[in-house]
Chains A and B, each alone.
Chain A
Amino acid sequence: MNKRVLAGYTVLLLIACALPFVVSEYRTFQFTLVLIYSIALLGLNILTGFNGQISLGHGAFYAIGAYCAAILMDKAGIPYWATIPAAGAVCLVAGFLFGLPALRLEGLYLALATFALGVSLPQLLKYHHLEEWTGGVQGIVITKPDAPEFLTGLGVALNQDQWLYFFTLAVTIVMFLLAWNLLRGRIGRAMMAIRDNHVAAEAMGVDNSMVKSLTFGVSAMFTGIAGALGAIAVQFVAPDSFNIFLSITFLIGIVIGGLSSISGALYGALFIQFVPNIADEISKAAPWAIFGLFLLGFIYLMPMGVAGAIRMGLARLTRKVHNKQAEKP
């Protein structure tokens, strides 16, 4: 079984590597965005899916990451790859600090507080005393990075979009490995214990407040790194692209992809990237109507999301195989 899973991941990786050579430049860019969204969704899923803290304002951390990258590149002239860890660190601290008052808020009230953060964020970014840094309403334009020279020396000619795709792919793999490692270990179990029964978790010696605010920090870090990558990919940050609907998009992504599932982040990212493209052909307002209907449908019919459905389907298939094997002798 383990070999089969490993083989599955290798095939997935090979497909991911072959993708930018097969599809058009624009599609490559879209798949880069899918990878970026998947990191952001993974961050939100760590908080909401695994730790049970609802956030309706994760767009805020995406925005902080994006602005970090843009300001560092534009004002300080720092190379694009170095902005990623910087954005991650800033968001880790910001998330941890927001997580402290959030400790006192449960369920609904945390949703309210984060909703307020998400709604008021564009206004904060437009604040005129910060304009020197954030560029105010106009935002900041940054240049797209070229593929590094040693690659051309090796005889691999990548255009900007392809290079950015591979760079993002590398970061994505690292982030997914990090999340997988974190969640299957002691801290991950503590997170889930708090989600399921915080009193019992406390009684078992889990430091509830520390784990909860750290989870907030780590979650914000993931989303912030995604934001930094997103800023580099679209070469532009502006306050109005980080409105409440961005946060809602992330929520939709994790619900559709599958709550408390690592692979769900990828399905959710594919959904929020490609479904609006298809729906746009019907009407300008259609994507959101379809998002809403999907959201209702998933909550009523498939609360574990796509990842849960796939898991169940696989379990059913393998059980059949097992049964047949058992019948044979």
Chain B
Amino acid sequence: MDALLHQVLAGLATGGIYASVALALVMIYQATHHVNFAQGELAMFSTYIAWSLINAGMPYWAAFFLTVAFSFVLGVVIERVVIRPVENSPVLSVVVVFIALLVILNSVTGWIYTFTIKTFPSPFPEQPLFGNKYMSSHEIGAICITMVVLLLLYGFFRFTPLGLAMRAAAQNPESSRLVGIRVGWILALGWGLAAAIGAVAGMMVAPIVFLDPNMMGGVLLYAFAAALVGGIDSPGGAVFGGFLVGVLENVLGAFVIGNELKLAVALVLIIGVLTVRPSGFFGKVHVTRV
């Protein structure tokens, strides 16, 4: 029982990270109906930036916020320069562009920082909080940060005019344009937000999996699974899905199928959800007219 509890709590901690990446995926999907295959590598690249800043002697939290700001700008630039030309192209071209981004980010990071594994500091104390024996303080901290990000996003979309404009642009681009919303820039903003959320996720996962250019491969897959389980167009669903996938992965990995097949859990989840219930738990069911 104790072991199970431990696994569930550890699952919640990694689940928070999956939830963040899934949230970033949902952000981009909602705005553009694209699934960003380069989301993981984007987060990884941001984390390396944070690593450089910290190594240059900057305090952790300063580096943290600077990295988030930098990632936001990077996301906007990528949308304007790389994604915009293929905005209305067939799906295949869009997927290929994302794959191109993935390999470019991966190899450029490897080029600059080499492929050797680096350690990344955690902002939280080493001793477990409140003397509990189940979760390290980094795990608790990661969950809290995910929740803060989620609340901020919710507030942004619910209570600010810009958030309202973003929701409008996602729902009906033509009408939004008619009432004076600059839809192109709103899409770029969505990309910027997604990149910033990804950066937070990257900095939270790096102390656990260590920093290397391929660190996000598995995380991205779980995030895909999380986004699909929750419903790819539902931010709240993505967070729920993230925690669910994190717990499932840990519990199944520890007790049922062994750690070697953990990624297969994501594969089965993705294919299962897509074939049985493509809208996930909280997504909208889309009906297309023939």
Contacts and interface: CB of A to CB of B under 8 A. Distances in A.
Contacts of B100: 291-293, 295-296, 299
B95 interface: yes
B110 interface: yes
Interface in B154-207: none
Interface string B236-272: 0000000000000000000000101111101100110
Interface residues of A, number: 46
B271 A56 contact: no
Contact of A115 (B34, B37, B86): B37
Chain B interface size, as a band, is 35 or more
Interface in B93-123: 93, 95-97, 99-104, 106-108, 110-111, 115
Interface string A88-114: 000000000000010011011101110
B85 interface: yes
Contacts of A293: 100, 104
Contacts of B33: 108
A293 B104 CA distance: 7
A199 interface: yes
Nearest to A199: B290
Interface stretch (B6-14, B60-68, B216-224): B216-224
Nearest to B108: A289
Given A109-B278, A111-B95, A296-B82, A123 B264 contact: yes
Chain B CB within 10 Å — which of A284, A291, A292, A303 has the most?
A292
Contacts of B132: none
A104 B220 CA distance: 23
A288 B91 contact: no
Nearest to B92: A54
A110 to B, nearest CB: 9
A167 interface: no
A120 interface: yes
A127 interface: yes
B140 interface: no
Interface in A183-202: 199
A104 B275 CA distance: 6
Interface of A: 48, 52, 54, 56, 101, 104-105, 107-109, 111-113, 115-117, 119-120, 123-124, 126-128, 199, 244-245, 248, 251-252, 255, 259, 283-289, 291-293, 295-296, 299-300, 303
